[in-house]
């Protein structure tokens, strides 16, 4: 895995002074690795993550909430596929947040996130999340009118209030055994262009393309502003952001795998201890099986 000091360079725990331009999407931690080296290292990292996840699942006291945010083509699906490969599916849940349904719009913006939270012992992955309500809704303010809010609550302070709500929500989660870890997948505009073209030119990828991707791309600068303000207002010690350089997919996956493993390790989950009564039953069962004739 990547050394912890490299992972820490992407960690943001305080929004004061944060500038997105200070994080290079092409960065790869000054590590002397080729793409093949990185893929081999990721394979080892996934094995480590799998062992840690087994302990998390067996102990059943903590849950991990992994939030993935980023513009189209930033690599959210690829990270889920490659980083969680090899981890027991029973211990992982993935939830993709699409356009809100009528039922979801009849509740507050955090309601659908509550319903998708992972159980204790699980790793929950939000592919996009409640942060969409301070991102896409902010870039497209007409969407706010579809949220059935009383008009007097839609004020100039609504985004500030939503940041406060999110911080309180994540503080509540951390205090109750769910550890939020948030990843902003940082990709350059030029790299996004190449990935969109790849979708259009590859018969095996064209199904992923949507005209909305290009329409949203035209709003690139607006999205960069709201991503920056999102991190400035919601980066905390309890729920840090990791601004992951994503122009090199293999390196982005290494960073996410390493961060997730280090956070689980810091919780020090352990397998349940066996009581003396259970130990006696286990010894008896072991002896019986050994003496059993085929």
Task: Return the number of other C-beta atoms located less than 10 Å from residue 42's C-beta.
Answer: 23
pLDDT at 23: 97
Please, what is the Cα angle at 280 between 279 and 284, to 5 degrees?
A: 115
pLDDT at residue number 275? 81
Element (H, E) at 240: none
Inter-CA distances, 259 with 11, 48, 243, 289, Å: 9, 12, 11, 43
- Give how far the C-alpha of residue 46 lies from the chain's centroid of Cα atoms, to the nearest Å: 16
Q: Between β-strands 241-245 and 11-12, what pairing exists: parallel, antiparallel or unpaired?
A: antiparallel
**Residue 50 is part of which domain span?**
4-291
Domain count along the chain: 1
Q: What is the pLDDT of residue 294?
A: 67
Per-residue pLDDT of the chain (294 residues; tens, 9 = 90+): 788 889 999 999 999 999 999 999 999 888 888 999 999 999 999 999 999 999 999 999 999 999 999 999 999 999 999 999 889 999 999 999 999 999 999 999 999 999 999 999 999 999 999 999 999 999 999 999 999 999 999 999 999 999 999 999 999 999 999 999 999 999 999 999 999 999 999 888 888 888 888 999 999 999 999 999 999 999 999 999 999 999 999 999 999 999 999 999 999 999 988 887 788 888 889 888 898 876
DSSP state, residue 242: E
Q: What is the CATH number of the domain that holds 21?
A: 3.40.50.300
- The H-assigned helical ranges of the chain are 4-8, 35-59, 76-83, 102-105, 111-115, 136-139, 158-175, 189-201, 211-217, 220-234, 249-267, 276-291
Burial environment of residue 153 by CB neighbours within 10 A (0 to 12, 13 to 18, 19 or more): exposed
pLDDT of 59 reads 96
The pLDDT assigned to 86 comes to: 85
């Amino acid at each position: 895995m990547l050394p912890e000091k490299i992972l820490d360079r992407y960690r943001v725990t305080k929004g004061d002074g944060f500038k997105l331009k200070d994080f290079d999407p092409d960065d790869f931690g000054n590590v002397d690795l080729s793409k093949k080296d990185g893929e081999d290292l990721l394979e080892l990292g996934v094995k480590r993550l799998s062992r840690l996840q087994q302990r998390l699942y067996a102990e059943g006291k903590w849950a991990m909430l992994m939030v993935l945010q980023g513009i189209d083509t930033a690599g959210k699906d690829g990270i889920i596929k490659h980083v969680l490969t090899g981890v027991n599916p029973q211990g992982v849940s993935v939830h993709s947040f699409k356009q809100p349904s009528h039922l979801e719009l009849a509740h507050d913006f955090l309601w659908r996130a509550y319903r998708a939270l992972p159980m204790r012992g699980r790793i929950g992955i939000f592919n996009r999340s409640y942060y969409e309500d301070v991102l896409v809704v902010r870039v497209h303010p007409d969407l706010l009118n579809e949220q059935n809010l009383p008009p007097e609550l839609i004020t100039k302070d609504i985004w500030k209030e939503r940041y406060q709500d999110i911080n309180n929500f994540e503080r509540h989660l951390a205090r109750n055994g769910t550890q939020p870890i948030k990843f902003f997948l940082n990709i350059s505009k030029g790299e996004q262009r190449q990935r969109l073209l790849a979708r259009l030119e590859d018969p095996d990828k064209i199904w992923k393309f949507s005209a909305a991707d290009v329409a949203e791309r035209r709003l690139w600068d607006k999205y960069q502003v709201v991503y920056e303000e999102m991190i400035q207002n919601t980066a905390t010690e309890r729920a840090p952001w990791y601004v992951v350089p994503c122009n090199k997919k293999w390196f982005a996956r290494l960073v996410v795998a390493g961060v997730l493993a280090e956070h689980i390790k810091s919780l020090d989950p352990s397998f349940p201890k066996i009581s003396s009564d259970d130990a006696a039953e286990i010894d008896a069962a072991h002896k019986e099986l050994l003496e059993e004739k085929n």
